[in-house]
Structure 1
């Protein structure tokens, strides 16, 4: 990912927040027949306070990716969306796309069956928790035999990234008044090309920038 110092993200707390809020990721590795990409949900490792993630792939994706035998790239895509040049005012301008993205690279560790089972349970609990009546992985009509077969059909992994590249391109190179206009337009305009969370992400980033400027003054 081409980096620009103005858009770089380095704060671990913020990176953890982005990963936690955007668990559906793209996994990329160099397979025997070329690059391979798959899509799975991941979680931050609850026993670490860094950027280590845990997840799983379904068999035979472990073989296709050569899981554990080489480097893997995990792409975390945060809020993103189209920004119209109309929102810059009556000046020459072109469209752009604002986004937040985190790339985690490293060689994953394969989890033992019991640890994989715990990760699978955490994944189910995480996403069921948003429902009115959550149904856990072990809840009836699932029984232990069913759950154990489910685990055997997956391969769990832990990735402690050796390399992290993160970018938050949210109009940081624009004047405050223009940024406020873009945020207002994103909140007001029902465009199919913008994540509804993008305005909130922009406001968060720019409030932090303004606070830093005030601290320096």
Structure 2
């Protein structure tokens, strides 16, 4: 991802929020057979306050990625959407795409079975807690043998990124009134190719920049 100083995202608190709110990620590795990509949910490591993440892959994805042996790129994709040039007013303009994204790179550490079970338990709890009738990992009809077999079919990892490239492109290069128009258009459903969270993310960014002036 090409970086642009105007859109660079470096605040750890904001980056942690991005990861926490967008746990479905893309894992990319360079192998002898070319690039390989997989898709898995990750969590922030609850023992750390940096950008260390934990997750798992199903076997044999650990071997395909060379997990623990070579660099892994984790792509975190936040809210994004198409921006029409018609929202800029009567000026020369072209379409663009607003987005928030982070690339976390490093060589992951493999987790022990006990650590992996804890991460799997956290993952299930994270996504089930919003359900009307949550089904947690250790609850019946699951039994310990079932959970143990589940863990054996996965490989857990912890990644403390040694390289971070993050970008928040939310029309910061446009006047406030134009940004407000874009937010209104997105909020009204004008953007067919838009994450519904994007106008809120843009409003949050605009409010933060105004408060800092």
Which band: TM-score by shorter chain? over 0.9
The answer to which of 199-208 and 152-161 deviates more is 199-208
Deviation at 1:115, TM superposition (A): 0.3
* Equivalent runs, 1:49-198 vs 2, <5 Å: 49-198=49-198
Q: Distance in 2 between matches of 1:29 and 1:43?
A: 19
Q: Distance in 1 between matches of 2:110 and 2:154?
A: 11
Structure 1: 4+ residue segments shifted above 4 A: none
Q: Distance in 2 between matches of 1:150 and 1:68?
A: 21
Deviation at 1:133, TM superposition (A): 1.1
Cα contact 2:75–2:102 (8 A) shared by 1: yes
What's the counterpart of residue 36 of structure 1?
Answer: 36
Q: Distance in 1 between matches of 2:2 and 2:30?
A: 20
Q: Distance in 2 between matches of 1:140 and 1:11?
A: 42
Gaps of 5+ in 1: none
SS of the equivalent of 1:13 reads: helix
Q: Distance in 1 between matches of 2:57 and 2:12?
A: 26
RMSD: 0.7
Cα contact 1:10–1:166 (8 A) shared by 2: yes
Q: Distance in 2 between matches of 1:209 and 1:122?
A: 35
Cα contact 1:32–1:64 (8 A) shared by 2: no
SS of the equivalent of 1:202 reads: helix
Q: Distance in 2 between matches of 1:123 and 1:186?
A: 32
Q: Distance in 2 between matches of 1:34 and 1:86?
A: 41
With normalisation by structure 2, the TM-score equals 0.99
Gaps of 5+ in 2: none
Alpha-carbon displacement from aligned partner over 1:66-104 (angstroms, at most 9, x marks no partner) = 000010000000000000011001111110000000110
Cα contact 1:72–1:106 (8 A) shared by 2: yes
